[in-house]
C-alpha cells in the first residue's frame, strides 16, 4: 500500500491521469476508487464537491526507487517509535499503533 502520489491542483490535472488514492467527499463517501482513470467529465464534477486538489499517481516508479522509499519509510517509523518496547505489556497500545501505521505505510506489519 506504499502509494507514490502527488497532490495536484485541479487545473493541472489532465484527463487520462490516474487517481493514486480513493477519493472521498466531505462525508467520507467514496466518490472514485483508487486507480480510477480521470476523464474530462469526472474532472468537471470536482468543483461541485468542493474538491480542488487530487492525489495523482506518479508515473513510472522503478522497483529500485520503490524499495528505496520503503526503506526510508521503515527507517523513519523506527525513529518515530524509538522509545517504545514491543515486549513491554504496558506498551500494548503503542505496539498496536505501530503495527497499524506500519501496515499503512509499508503494506505489511514489521
Partner 1 sequence: MNPGQAQLTADDIVAHLDDLPSLPVVVMELLNSIDQEDVDISVLAKKVSYDQALTAKTLRLANSSQYGLQVKATTIQQAITYLGFQTTRSLIMSAAITGCFPEGRCAGFDDKEFWRHSVATAACAKVLARQIRFNQDYAFTAGLLHNIGRLVLVSSFPEQYAQVIAYRAEHDCTVLEAERTVLGVDHVQAGVALAERWNFSDTMRLAIGNYPTPEAPGAGFLAALIHVANAIVCALDLAQSGDDMVPHVSLVAWNALGLSEETYLQLFRETELRYDEITAALLSQAG
Nearer to partner 1, 18 or 55 (CB): 55
Residue 7 CB, shortest distance to partner 1, in Å, is 6
Residue 27 CB, shortest distance to partner 1, in Å, is 6
Strands 30-32 and 23-24: antiparallel
Contact residues for partner 1, defined by CB under 8 A: 7, 21-22, 24-28, 48-53, 55, 76-77, 80-84, 90-94, 96-101, 103-104
All residues at 6 or more sequence positions from 19 whose CB lies less than 8 Å from its CB, including other chains = 32, 33, 34, 35, 36, 37, 38, 54, 55, 56, 57
Amino acid at each position: 500500500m506504499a502509494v507514490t502520489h502527488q497532490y495536484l491542483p485541479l487545473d493541472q490535472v489532465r484527463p487520462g491521469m490516474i487517481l493514486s488514492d480513493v477519493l472521498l467527499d466531505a462525508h467520507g463517501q467514496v466518490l472514485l476508487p483508487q486507480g480510477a482513470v480521470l476523464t474530462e467529465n469526472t474532472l468537471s464534477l470536482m468543483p461541485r464537491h468542493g474538491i480542488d486538489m487530487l492525489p495523482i499517481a506518479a508515473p513510472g516508479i522503478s522497483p529500485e526507487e520503490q524499495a528505496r522509499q520503503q526503506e526510508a519509510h521503515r527507517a523513519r517509523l523506527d525513529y518515530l517509535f524509538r522509545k517504545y518496547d514491543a515486549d513491554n505489556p504496558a506498551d500494548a497500545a503503542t505496539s498496536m499503533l505501530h503495527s497499524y501505521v506500519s501496515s499503512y505505510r509499508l503494506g505489511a506489519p514489521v
